[in-house]
Structure 1
């Protein structure tokens, strides 16, 4: 814990960094001294923010993260959480029907997808944004584990004010520095936020049309394919290896069908999709629902890199449009493991030459399919998902 003396010293270091290090860069990028001083007036480092490293110290993995329990992906889809988005989405679809129709026409992104993101990111604008963006971004640019990332975002936040897109007092954010109802980082605001309601201001804090159109503009920038959905739930026969998962192993959907993959509930694949490319997604390996996803799924991952986030948005959008119906597949139980166990497993796989993406304790698709390949090569049934026995075998 910091003492009054150490807090004063840190505050002095912070302001020396602002004026001696950050200001020359900001000035070179067109930020006026008036804007700079207004943004940091009264700002001090916020030591309650996560992922901070005190000056002169080395970054370490937080104990609570190291010991965090590794649970089933199904927990991400708690019915209460999903229904809050789907019920709220349907209500707001009716209330904003004209604006949504105009946004769909201009951008080609379905309204239910925009509503699902809006609901997930900020509870349709109800989530509190209690932080001063300059306090958050300034603290993190000065002393976080990803200082360079937050420095770029901090300069972008200054540019927002300098260009008159928002006053300093309106720059309210999350604890991570994300702005407004769509939770854009400042660089995303500058690239993708739009004035859709025509009032002359880009207002993602208060305007629903601006919020939804900005989300649509973001998705289009990253390649949203008009006329295609995000994906379909399927069943995968044992003869099809779960290690075929991933965005780099796409096939025509007709080819997946020829391999024995079927849509759930005996529904056919849409005829228009059969010649298009699809990708196998098994977020819990053999222990949960499986999907054939389209390139639009990976566009959703540009909003948040988690497979589960993109799946939540796709699933939520389907339920907003078609009514509340859960996945057909059921999520298996995962017990007795911590993120540190998963990281140990990942490092062991890396040592044997497998590509796990990152040994971060989170089993993304590269880790899942590497598990499946290791299991198959060692005479085990391929589940493509970590368990306690696998962790022990790989130690």
Structure 2
């Protein structure tokens, strides 16, 4: 499979980042033998696609163009790319989202990808939904105040997470290098453009009411925003010690270093799990940060407690969702994609690239849970497994009674 970087470097396709992209020029850079066709070599099924067609999409999704013979039925779409979403651009940053509107199967969780410039602010606001976030790059300052007047101010960086319960007001600001992060909300129909913001509330409150509430003349509010700010540009704040208001009621912790956790390792990679057991405030969201090395895969498994929302951080891979009743479908995934695996679907994720594949598994549940196919078989009487699957002692003796969340392919170096 050709990569965009190969086309760019080897063929000199220019201006991909300044809106001078030319699709026809890009297609001419692809050698005819590298244009994929919907023909499965193993059984000769399919035939050439005479067009019109989107060749770039076909190259990106080889396992949908030519599904494995094991795929069957009408499993719904389980992936969507943030690159296919609409950008909301503001002075100070941008945002884009994947919800049930973009990915209809994603009913329990929605995702927002946001960037803040140095000093850029996601304004003071709150939600009906939980907000769970993973820092992708840069550093940000987050603030919050709870219902008891306890406040929280922290600077967070790559691999850190935060969690704000419903109704807790908070803000996010980019520090010296700016920042980018993933936000996840516990409602598939959520939109980050439909939240409670302080500027919007002020704009829709009579000035005489503001005057009475704050004990100030109406003139003090003459310059309040007329509409919601959402994201705006400000200056980079000073050290926390210089700007932190001290609450007489104390502080409350809303952040956690997920990447800083000691991982659960196996021959194929690693897993870090965060839920209410090691991050007590996170009462409605659990997650895992998974690393899959080249030549390895997240083992065959399922989750017995809720749907799985995935966000792919680096690398490329493929996954198959087994939906029962003779149905299954395979998808290609890469960095910047969201994946979604409905409740109890059996699945795996295989690294199909040459670099580590990192992704997040996120659940609307206080406790992270998964069931390992291998462990289930190992802890079941061998006679049942043998007669159920028509396998012999070679399979039975290979079964592990402890989980390897990430397994490595035999003989891979």
The TM-score with structure 2 as length reference comes to 0.25
Which structure has the larger Rg?
2
Greater strand percent: which structure?
2
